[in-house]
């Protein structure tokens, strides 16, 4: 029987995409020289820090959510589905912004 894909799985996949795009930026940044190189390196470091922060926060929120979900699943389910939709849209917007930055 196939495991049902949860919203957290989708978000985790999107975060992995963001991580791989940051790694691509790092590779491209190492090839640039001069003043642009310094600016790019700074932005890459900032993105890398933000990525790590997002991943850590995601794991913490996921654990809290799962704990609360188990205790309140019947009353919270409609609200959680709606919230998950909004959260996915936010992550998709982040991925889109990184794609635009790579162009």
User: What is 71-84 written as a DSSP string?
Assistant: HHHHHHHHHHHHHH
The band of 99, judged by pLDDT with boundaries at 50, 70 and 90, is confident
Distance CA 61, CA 48 (A): 20
Stretch 9-26: mean pLDDT: 79
pTM (predicted TM-score): 0.45
The greatest distance separating any two alpha carbons of the chain, rounded to the nearest whole angstrom, comes to 58
* pLDDT digits 0-9 by tens, 32-86: 666 677 777 787 778 778 878 888 888 888 888 888 777 776 776 777 777 888 8
| The predicted structure's pLDDT at residue 38 | 76
Q: Which residue has the tokens 């791989």?
A: 20
């Amino acid at each position: 029987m196939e495991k049902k894909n949860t919203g957290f799985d989708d978000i985790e996949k999107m975060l992995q995409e963001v991580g791989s795009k940051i790694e691509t930026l790092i590779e491209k940044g190492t090839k640039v020289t001069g003043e642009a190189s310094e600016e790019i390196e700074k932005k890459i470091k900032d993105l890398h820090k933000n990525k790590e922060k997002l991943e850590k926060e995601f794991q913490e929120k996921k654990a809290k959510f799962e704990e609360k979900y188990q205790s309140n699943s019947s009353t919270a389910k409609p609200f959680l589905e709606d919230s998950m939709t909004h959260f996915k849209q936010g992550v998709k917007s982040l991925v889109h912004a990184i794609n635009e930055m790579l162009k």
